Amino acid sequence: MSKNLPPLELGQSAQRGSPLETTAFVAGATGYTGREVVRELRRQGIETVAHVRPDSSRLDEWRADLTRAGAAVDTTPWDAAAMTATLRGLQPGLVFALLGTTRARARRAGRDLAQRESYESVDYGLTRLLLDATVAAAPAARFIYLSSLGVREGSRNPYIAVRARFESELRQSGVPYLIARPGLITGPDREESRPAERLASVVVDGVLALAGMMGGTGLQRRYASMNAATLARGLVRAALGPEWNRVVEAEGLRG
Ligand SMILES: NC(=O)c1ccc[n+]([C@@H]2O[C@H](COP(=O)([O-])OP(=O)(O)OC[C@H]3O[C@@H](n4cnc5c(N)ncnc54)[C@H](OP(=O)(O)O)[C@@H]3O)[C@@H](O)[C@H]2O)c1
């Protein structure tokens, strides 16, 4: 059941001292979606802290990029006590969990790092660490979790299974939450080359466009790919809206 919270006004910062803090903490801020979420939050006048892992090989570049976007950059290590202390100090009103790895990344990491670069350790493990830190340090914060289309209990697909597990734990955590389930997130502006994802989006979007011409616009709104900027607008709009403790599917994110 969704729970109503007072809305934040789009385009306005909430008053300091109001039940809703203005600060947003973005984990995964260096990703395709994360970078756009940071930009969108700043466009809406929301104080934004962009998290970058301290051992990132591109730390200086990300710091410059995210600072230019108007965010403060935080480099807390992915450690439970350290993340809790950071959130305790910041007291964010919004926490975005936009992290994830891919099979290709895990392969590139090689056997030595494979355990640190899996759906279990990143998509589930780091997101769970962030949730635990939020529960401990900022339990009134709204937790926005970027999940995926097709998530269901009992799936044997490891990517879907870790998301189903996390969604279930988030529901029971006691923090106000939003679970976003977009389809493919892609566009020509994605820096990392993902040919299989691009091909899938061309095929799926083509079929859906045909279905749309024949009246199946609902299918198109639900299953067609979206780029990070569209998704970011949808995520921030939902995050500032009045309805909480719910799942937002792709059509709700498109606006
Ligand atoms: N792509 C899709 O079609 C799609 C569809 C639905 C849902 N999703 C999910 O949505 C989320 C965001 O997707 P995206 O495409 O925007 O992701 P992305 O561009 O691949 O970015 C992933 C983010 O996760 C961080 N990350 C990855 N491995 C990490 C590690 N070992 N330690 C710390 N941070 C790590 C990255 O940080 P670094 O830059 O430091 O590596 C980056 O900030 C992911 O969970 C993804 O699975 C994706």
The full length of the chain comes to 255
Between CA 129 and CA 84 the distance in angstroms is 9
21 against 196, higher pLDDT: 196
Distances in Å between the Cα of 97 and the Cα atoms of 94, 130, 177, 193, 218 are 10, 8, 11, 23, 28
CATH superfamily for domain 3-185+226-254: NAD(P)-binding Rossmann-like Domain (3.40.50.720)
Distances in Å between the Cα of 136 and the Cα atoms of 21, 82, 85, 86, 158 are 17, 12, 9, 11, 28
113 against 137, higher pLDDT: 137
| Residue 211's pLDDT band (cuts 50, 70, 90) | low
pLDDT at 199: 76
Nearest CA to ligand 1 atom 24: 99
β-partners of residue 4 are 243
| Least confident among 3-7, 67-71, 102-106, 145-149 | 3-7
Domain boundaries, the chain: 3-185+226-254, 194-225
What number of CA atoms fall less than 13 Å from residue 114's CA on the CB side? 5
Task: Say yes or no to pLDDT of 204 above 90.
Answer: no
35 against 187, higher pLDDT: 35
pLDDT at 127: 98
DSSP H or E run through 225: none
Between CA 34 and CA 228 the distance in angstroms is 8
Task: Say yes or no to pLDDT of 1 above 50.
Answer: no
pLDDT at 8: 46
| Least confident among 29-38, 126-135, 140-149, 202-211 | 202-211
The pocket around ligand 1, CB under 6 angstroms, is made up of: 28, 30-34, 53, 56, 78, 98-101, 116-117, 122-123, 126, 146, 148, 182, 184-186, 197
For 88-102, what is the mean pLDDT? 95
pLDDT at 11: 39
Task: Say yes or no to pLDDT of 13 above 70.
Answer: no
Provide the terminal-to-terminal Cα distance of the chain, rounded to the nearest Å. 22
For 224-252, what is the mean pLDDT? 94
Q: What percent of the chain has pLDDT over 90?
A: 68
CA of 103 to the centre of ligand 1 (A): 11
Contact 181, 151 (CB under 8 A): yes
Task: Say yes or no to pLDDT of 42 above 70.
Answer: yes
Task: Say yes or no to pLDDT of 15 above 70.
Answer: no
Between CA 101 and CA 123 the distance in angstroms is 7
pLDDT at 3: 52
pLDDT at 17: 43
pLDDT at 188: 80
**Residues contacting 73, CB < 8 A, separation 6+:** 49, 50, 51, 52, 62, 63, 66, 67
Nearest CA to ligand 1 atom 32: 122
Task: Say yes or no to pLDDT of 12 above 50.
Answer: no
For 115-124, what is the mean pLDDT? 88
Nearest CA to ligand 1 atom 47: 100
CA of 131 to the centre of ligand 1 (A): 17
Residue 18: count of CB within 10 angstroms of its CB: 12
| Residue 31's pLDDT band (cuts 50, 70, 90) | very high
Nearest CA to ligand 1 atom 38: 30
pLDDT at 10: 41
What number of CA atoms fall less than 13 Å from residue 73's CA on the CB side? 19
pLDDT at 109: 67
pLDDT at 201: 76
**Residues contacting 79, CB < 8 A, separation 6+:** 129
